[in-house]
Amino acid sequence: MSLMLTYQQKVRAQKERAKAGQPEPEKPDTLKVAPSGLIGNQQLGALLDKALEQDLKSLKGINSRERKADVKRTLVDKYAGYVERLRASSVKHELLGWYLVWLFDTGELDSAVTYALWCIEAGVALPERFNRTVEIFVADAILEWADAEYDAGRSVQPYFATVFNHADGVCCQPWDLPDEVTAKFYRQQGLNLARAEKFTAAVDVLEEALSLGAKVKTALADCRKRATRDVS
């Protein structure tokens, strides 16, 4: 059968379905055809390369941030099972980094923070275009979110505390972050303590933030006064 005839039949079938009000048949998910095992993982990797390339191209063509967020939510659902398969098989793939980005972009912080800690432990890297470590990406994302939540008068916990404890080394080896990022963490932690009326602790943290270049002089002075008042 010629390509032209095949195309004509396809168009004719589409018109007949449209006329009858029938939906287009779903395209098979080619990712699901890859078997398990070493060869299966290699096949899955190749299929993921192709699927990811197409989805990233589609995302790039969307200008609306809201629309992009909606598409990223569908991608999180689409690839969740494949991410779990890669994790279970200890297979590294670019999808793992993109999945982390999408979780933060869509505000899925509960999953994002948990998954981010696994990525750091497993040595997963972000896609090359980000030119940042996972630690710095996560720190920046949480700080941006925490600033907005704090300004709106909402709690930044438990997500801020979880990331802060890892970044500061409270529970593990401290993350290697630029000083300006660490300063922002101490600033936010100091503000959190001050809001909770733990002024003495806030002073210690804000002094650390100040030493790293954070603009906290006003907040620090206020906490010092309140801490002195509490002691007296």
Q: What is the pLDDT of residues 182-221, one digit of tens each?
A: 999 999 999 999 999 999 999 999 999 999 999 999 999 9
1 falls in which pLDDT band (50, 70, 90)?
A: very low
pLDDT for the residue numbered 192: 96
Task: Write down the domain spans for the chain.
Answer: 36-131, 134-232
Percent of the chain with pLDDT over 90: 72
What is the rounded distance in angstroms from the CA atom of residue 192 to the CA atom of residue 188?
6
pLDDT for the residue numbered 43: 84
CB-based contact 218:210 (threshold 8 Å): no
CB-based contact 96:86 (threshold 8 Å): yes
Q: Indicate whether 28 pLDDT > 70.
A: no
CA distances, 147 to each of 58, 188, 191 (Å): 31, 7, 10
For the stretch 108-132, pLDDT in tens is 999 999 999 999 999 999 999 999 9
pLDDT for the residue numbered 49: 93
Residue reference for tokens 């980000």: 130
Alpha-helical segments (H) within the chain: 3-19, 37-60, 65-89, 94-105, 109-122, 134-151, 159-168, 179-195, 199-211, 217-231
Mean of pLDDT values over 50-56: 94
pLDDT for the residue numbered 30: 47
pLDDT for the residue numbered 215: 95
Q: Indicate whether 3 pLDDT > 50.
A: no
Amino acid at 232: S
Q: Indicate whether 64 pLDDT > 70.
A: yes
